[in-house]
Amino acid sequence: MKKIKEIIVVEGKDDTVAVKRAVEADTIETNGSAIPPYIIEQIKLAQSTRGVIILTDPDFPGQRIRNIIEKEVPGCKHAFLPKHLAIEKRGRGVGIEHASPEAIQEALKDAHTTTGLADEVITFDDLIDAGLIAGKQARSRREKLGLALKIGYANGKQLHKRLQMFQITPEQFKAALQNLDQEELK
């Protein structure tokens, strides 16, 4: 079992259990999206000593937790689990606790570090031209692009921000779009 040096931030105990089935790692649990100050202090300490990987559920509360932590503790790595790999077998719930060990391992392997907003390289107009905003298939295309670039699903505005934060190059963006277009032609 692979050992992870960084401390993984998850939402709850069930997520910790799922992570520990996948890798050997320490976790910090936020216990929901109202993160108490003492948890933020723990995350700050973890970031300064071992580094932090944020692995939250692929839903709105999970994104809210990411945003709070990124604001308070910049420079954390982000691991994204695609929603379809985090759905409970009966389809009632979405969360890290429902993911397979292999899916968690893959998400952690592809963790990205944010660097603050870089100069805009991929513009909002580029997203519109690529059919990622304001079209019938825009949501589906954003989901597939997020999977390909391993930055998670995002709405149009969030996608633009993530592309800058994770310093996705125009070459990476174009390659992912070409693969997406080829898959849609099949």
150: left (phi over 0), alpha (psi -120 to 50) or beta: left
CATH no. of 7-113: 3.40.1360.10
pTM higher than 0.75: no
Statement: residue 115 has pLDDT above 90: no
Instruction: Please report, for the chain, the start and end positions of each structural domain, with discontinuous segments joined by +.
Output: 7-113, 124-185
Statement: residue 7 has pLDDT above 80: yes
pLDDT tier for residue 150 given thresholds of 50, 70 and 90: confident
Check: CB of residue 78 under 8 Å from CB of residue 112: yes
The model's pLDDT over 63-81, given as tens digits with 9 standing for 90+, comes to 899 989 989 998 899 999 9
Statement: residue 119 has pLDDT above 80: no
End-to-end CA distance of the chain: 37
The whole-number pLDDT of residue 1 equals 82
